[in-house]
Amino acid sequence: MAEKSAPNENYDIVEAGEEVKEASPPDINDLCRDTFDKTGKYLQGELAGTGEDYRLLEDMNKAVSGRVVEMKEVSANIERAMTDLNAKYNSLAPFLEQIDQIEKSVSTLEQSTYQLDAYSKRLEAKFKQLEKR
């Protein structure tokens, strides 16, 4: 039988290693600086764009609020005009009622006139018959 060896027996000898540091090529440092500069400019542009968006929203809010004030004035004017019209209509209501009554009277008078005309035509026809005899 073969002897069993301890599991770490093969690893007892460990060499101390040194970390190898390579000098970075000068172009990588330049590329990193360039990347950071461009990233900074990009972020500044994004922030500037967002700032412009907020300014635009502010201008739009000012314009809309001005328009709302104008619409409020127009609606107030319309309300005043409607109140005046209602007051005038209410003051004319008795006269309008009188006009309606007069119209009914005229209709009744017109009907009476037609009846009277028909009656007078019958009388005339009878008179002509009597005259011929």
**pLDDT tens across 29-83, in order?**
888 999 999 999 999 999 999 999 999 999 999 999 999 999 999 999 999 999 9
User: Is 1's pLDDT higher than 60?
Assistant: no
User: Is 15's pLDDT higher than 50?
Assistant: yes
Dihedrals phi, psi of 15, to nearest 5 degrees: -85, 140
Cα–Cα distance for residue pair 47/52, rounded to 1 Å: 9
With b for 16 or more beta-carbon neighbours within 10 A and e for fewer, the 59-92 pattern comes to eeeeeeeeeeeeeeeeeeeeeeeeeeeeeeeeee
If you search the block for the tokens 């008179």, which residue do you land on?
127
Mean pLDDT of the chain: 87
User: Is 20's pLDDT higher than 80?
Assistant: no
